[in-house]
Structure 1
Amino acid sequence: MTGKIAVVTGATGGIGRMIVEDLARDHRVYALGRNAEKLAELGELANVVAVAADLDRELLDDSPGAGLTEVLGQPRVDVLVNAAAIAHRHTVEDAEPADWRGMFDTNVFVPAELTRQLLPALRAARGLAVFVNSGAGRGAYPGNAVYAATKHALYALTDALRREESNNGVRITSVAPGPTDTPMLQGLNSQAGTGYDRSHYIDPVEVARALRTAVDAGPSTQLTDIAVRPRVELADLPEATRS
């Protein structure tokens, strides 16, 4: 069993699952998620501890449950990956306060609070905190106003945290995938009434590989922003093949 500790939120999502599998090669991984069936699958993997956790409730409203309490009690954490996120299509006109609050809770406030609570453990390990952002964090388009706003906020959070922790030994990285073949993207396309051709999108395993470059960076540097783009941008596809 490896002595390194990693914590991954959103572990039952398309990208989170690949990150857990990659990190488990040389870390003991606490994989946090809400999907019981997928958590059970993760729990069968070597070096993986599956933790059922409702982070919005346990971190922002109530006391942490037993699984999360164990995670927060780790004396050192080498890698924290904030991968949990939700996305729904909303324009500014149709988004109500509950829509804004819900997405900001999961996409911004939860990673901020979990990272805050794990900072002593990250400092003890001179560790790395990774925030899985999105291409939407650098640009918005009609219909993704709320989601894009949360990802813009996540960039502000990581940029400030990087400066705050620079003398404490903690490295901070943003990994921003473009359109990736995940259930989240499938749901967004369904909301928009568009087709879905997975060959046009990034394979989630490639996001995990990109994140690994930050994990393996030498002690004198940090990779601050990693953009993961599809080989062919959707806008550059022949019009007849776009979905």
Structure 2
Amino acid sequence: MTTHLITGAGSGIGAVLAQRLLERGDDLVLLARSASRAAELAASYDGARTVVADLADPASVEGLDLPASLDSVVHAAGVVELGAVADLGVASWLEQLTVNLVAPAALTRVALPALRAARGTVVLVNSGAGLTAHPQWSAYAASKHGLKALADSLRTEEAEHGVRVSTVYPGRTATAMQEKVHAQEGKDYDAADWIDPGTVAATILHLLDVPRDATVPDITVRPNA
């Protein structure tokens, strides 16, 4: 039986991925930011286990009661706040850097003994903004560029332990986050214009199932439009 630790399972890509893993019989450990949120996730994913930590407070991941063996850790949670450098305050910078970069680093460190035991895979759901920074996207892109650096360093550091590290760079995907982005950009939102979350989830499943003789370091998923 394979076991996966997932952040961001409450919506979007993380929710679809969690459901598909559950449907194929895998064990899930879902990270929730509060006890009430944990109860909601447990009700949504029958048989899944929950652990509580707030990614806005990375120190809260210390001491998490994780399984002794983890086949994967999938970092699918994230936050976004657009704005010009001239306008973004310290709070916006800190929130995005904390949730999108510092928290994945802290959680991965805590999970490494279990990942090493299973020779597991770390999947970091990044963004096209992790490769190119456009106007209004400075803080979010900085957090995602940092996430790429984390993945690249971790991949080399953990190779001797058999831990694989993959980064997925989705383009605009039809999630609640994308709807928020459109609102901040002052644009109309139509989910049909963008990548279905299930497409990105299928890509992550592929990464988890790649035979042990190979690693896929990076994969980009772009909308056709």
Structure 1 stretch 43-52 or stretch 172-181: which is displaced more? 43-52
Choose 1 or 2 for highest CA Rg.
1
Contact in 2 for aligned 1:91/1:144 (Cα 8 Å): yes
Deviations 1:178-220 (A, max 9, x none): 0001111111111121100111101101111000111110011
The number of equivalent residue pairs is 223
- Counterpart pick for 1:108 among 101, 105, 109: 101
Retained in 1: the 8 A contact 2:4–2:71?
yes
Q: Is the 8 A contact 1:133 1:174 kept in 2?
A: yes
Q: CA RMSD in A?
A: 1.8
Structure 1: distance between partners of 2:46 and 2:93: 38
Per-residue CA deviation, residues 33-63 of structure 1 (Å, 9 max, x unaligned), is: 3484696255343442244432322x32x57
Partner of 1:239: none
Give 5+ residue unaligned stretches, structure 2.
none
- The equivalent position to 1:143 in structure 2, one of 121, 126, 136, is 136
Matches within 5 A, 1:58-137: 59-60=58-59, 62=60, 69-71=64-66, 74-137=67-130
TM-score normalised to structure 1 length: 0.86
User: TM-score, with normalisation over the residues of structure 2?
Assistant: 0.92
Could you tell me which residue of structure 2 aligns to residue 16 of structure 1? 14
Read off the aligned partner of 2:26 and give its amino acid letter: H
Cα-to-partner distance string for 1:212-239 (whole Å, 9 max, x where unaligned): 111110011011111111122xxxxxxx
What's 2:40 paired with?
Answer: 40
Which stretches of structure 1, 4 residues or more, deviate above 6 A after TM superposition? none
The 8 Å contact of residues 39 and 52 in structure 1, kept in 2 or not, is answered as: no
- Does residue 156 (structure 1) correspond to residue 149 (structure 2)? The answer is yes
Q: What's the secondary structure of 1:166's corresponding residue?
A: helix
Gaps of 5+ in 1: 233-243
Distance in 2 between the 1:173 and 1:151 partners?
Answer: 14
Match of residue 236 from structure 1: none
Q: Aligned letter for 1:194?
A: K
Distance 1:202 1:54 in 2: 28
Paired-residue identity, %: 37
1: CA distance between counterparts of 2:112 and 2:41? 29
TM-fit CA distance, 1:175: 0.9
Distance 1:16 1:63 in 2: 19
Letter in 1 for 2:45: L
